[in-house]
Amino acid sequence: MVKVGDDLLAAIGGLPAATSPLVVEAEGIHKWFGRQHALKGVSLTVRRQEVVVVIGPSGSGKTTFIRCVNHLEKIEEGRIKVNGHLIGYQEVDGRLKEDREKNIALQRREIGMVFQRFNLFPHKTALENVTEAPIQVRGIREDEAKALGMAILARVGLAHRADAYPVQLSGGQQQRVAIARALAMKPALMLFDEPTSALDPEMIGEVLEVMKELAREGMTMIVVSHEMGFAREVADRMVMMDDGRILEEGTPEHFFENPQQERTQAFLSKIL
């Protein structure tokens, strides 16, 4: 049996070994959906153990950007590196060529993603949701995976619901299982796309608590969220996106005390 650690990262076996102080290096990302220019040259660097909160109005490209980081979206220009590895592409004579599916899948193992609408596997129990990828993708033995899964579920406070199917769980519980599912792959980076915006207000807190704990323990995270209490508490840096660009970047203090851009001020005054 795996010993249940005191914290979330201990439950998954600690932080992956650092191979580079920079976890994410995105450089001049352009993304088109047909004629729609969704990302217009986005550059962002995220250091190890940093928590970056992304805000911005609807349609500004927040979701698109973090989906590019694990290559759920192709990009037309620029490059994204995670842990020093080019994501989704290979460089051939200075030009980028989409990588083989197998390699992309290998890269995605290291990048956890939490979706707005949870996307739990409805035909699997909470525990099976968590152990599916460790068993099927990492090839971990079933009993080991179960022990690991129970340890992580315990950390998100859901060990007692291990055998429940997603439909039997509340929204907050489903999202916590989704976080546990992503953590079970021991990712070097976690991406969150508005993880609490589909939740009833009384369930937001329990999900944010799990995320705060993870942040405090040193997980590298990019979080798209308009939960400003969360940002104030755990963000190392905030990023304001607008119309496919990064408009402003800075510490939470900077954002809450003297944002420079008028649009940032206007946006913050609306959501605060």
Partner 1 sequence: MGRAVPSSRVLRPASALAGGLALVLAGCGPSSYQYNWNILVDSVIRPDGQILSGIWLTLSISIVSQIIGIVLGVFGALGKMSRIAPIRWIANVYIWFFRGTPLLVQITFIFFGLGVTRIYQWPPINLLGVSIPGSIQAGIFALGLNEGAYMSEIVRAGILSIDPGQLEAAKSLGMTYGKAMRRIILPQAARVIVPPLGNEFNNMLKTTSLLVIISVPELYVTFSRKNASGPTVFHPFELFLAAAVWYLVLTTIWGVIQAYIERRLAKGVAGTPATGGVSLRERLFGGRRPEGAPQGSGGR
Ligand X SMILES: Nc1ncnc2c1ncn2[C@@H]1O[C@H](COP(=O)(O)OP(=O)(O)OP(=O)(O)O)[C@@H](O)[C@H]1O
- Contact residues toward Mg ion (CB under 5 A) are 63
CB of 245 to Mg ion, least distance (A): 16
Instruction: Find the binder of partner 1 among 75, 120, 148, 156 (CB under 8 A).
Output: 120
CB of 249 to ligand X, least distance (A): 16
**Nearest residue to 174 (alpha-carbon basis) of 164, 183, 184:** 164
CB of 225 to ligand X, least distance (A): 10
CB of 116 to ligand X, least distance (A): 8
Q: Which residue is nearest to Mg ion (CB)?
A: 63
Per DSSP, the residues of 193-253 read ESTTTTS-HHHHHHHHHHHHHHHHTT--EEEE---HHHHHHH-SEEEEEETTEEEEEE-HH
| Binding of residue 123 to partner 1 (CB under 8 A) | yes
Name the residue type at position 107. Q
Query: Among all chains, which residue has been given the structure tokens 């290096």?
Result: 25
Nearer to partner 1 by Cβ, of 183 and 215: the residue is 183
x-or-dash string of contact with ligand X, 57-76, rule CB under 6 A = -xxxxxxx------------
Name the residue type at position 66. I
Q: Which of residues 18-47 bind ligand X (CB under 6 A)?
A: 33, 36, 38
Instruction: Find the binder of partner 1 among 18, 105, 266, 271 (CB under 8 A).
Output: 105
State both tokens at 207.
Answer: 């999900």
State both tokens at 105.
Answer: 């899948």
Rounded Cα–Cα distance for residues 179 and 191 (Å): 10
CB 66 within 8 A of CB 114: no
3-state secondary structure of 118: coil
Rounded Cα–Cα distance for residues 240 and 57 (Å): 9
- Residue 60 interacts with, from partner 1, ligand X, Mg ion, none (CB under 5-8 Å by kind): ligand X
Nearer to Mg ion by Cβ, of 63 and 225: the residue is 63
Q: Which residues bind ligand X (CB under 6 A)?
A: 33, 36, 38, 56, 58-64
